[in-house]
Amino acid sequence: MKPLTVVYVEADGVPVPSWVEQDLQQGGVDLRIQPCTSEEELLGAAADADVVWLYGNPVITAERLKKLPRCGAILRTGSGFDNVPVEAATRQGVIVVHTPTAVFDEVADHTIGLLFAVIRRIVPHDRALREGRWERREHIHRWHLRGNTLGLIGFGRIARSVARKMQGFKLRILACDPLLQPEVIRAEGVRPVEMESLLSQSDFVSLHTPLSSGTRHLIGETQLRSMKPESVLINTCRGPVVDERALIRALQEGWIAAAGLDVFEPEPLAPTSPLLEMENVVLTPHVAGCSDISKDSFWRLSVDTLIRLAEGRWPDACANPGVTPKWSLRR
């Protein structure tokens, strides 16, 4: 059998571990590593590739994909795939694969961590103590967990992990996901609702949707104004899912009470952003998926995915499962 030709498009200075190259070679994959800083370099490197492998944030546009007629799959190492034109790939018979299971527990943990940091006011307490102030009475907590409602927008792996971990706190948990049957949500002990109901009923709203044309600015002024004035918004998915200007107004004018944010629109967060001056916001720099084991998990799932493709098997995580692929793959 002819080896599967894979071009690793390296744009963020992430070296490939030696064991990755060895395992892929043994699995029938011809790996080529190509640093790319321009469209010309990317197209030249991937011209005869069966698979384009993106690690980090190099971008494949619809126009660039048209110039890669041999490409049958794009592997994006990571949970998101917003740097890949999924609809255009589907039209061209190109499978879009990613590795969401690598860090779903880490992102779920970080989501919960942000929520706790906000509602327990951990950051201002810490800051006050470091500045020599013992302010037990000044920082009265505005929230509690037991009996309140957590709303999850999107109910994929990460949201389900959040739901399972938070059920022990005796919260009422709601979820909205138009791509899932209600029975799938109910099976997790979570109540399926429409987004309007979720926003109006939830004390805490957490976002877990991929970024696409349909989810960009999914949360804007209308949605923020429909939330409770005492509610908290948590975002660990993608920054542009939220209209950041509207969110800043919402936090300044009291449409909602607070937010915990790991992602922003755009990134990195500008040093002049009003979010940096707000006491009712906890911020982290897009690190929700990071842990001592996450990088190894990304590599191992990527290697497993490429070997599955080389063996003619359907990948585990596909962003466009309805695609008619160029290759014959066993599901």
What positions carry a catalytic annotation?
238, 267, 286
> How far apart (Å, rounded) are the C-alpha atoms in residues 325 and 313?
12
Please, are residues 284 and 239 in contact by the beta-carbon 8 Å criterion?
no
Residue 1 burial (C-beta neighbours within 10 Å; 0-12, 13-18, 19+): exposed
Residue 75 is inside which H or E element, if any? strand 73-77
Both tokens of 228, joined, read 């409770």
The DSSP annotation for 96-155 comes to EEE-GGGSHHHHHHHHHHHHHHHHTTHHHHHHHHHTT---TTTS------TT-EEEEES-
Both tokens of 70, joined, read 């041999």
Q: Tell me the sheet residues that pair with 282.
A: 260
Dihedral angle of Cα 170, 174, 179, 181, to the nearest 10 degrees: 80
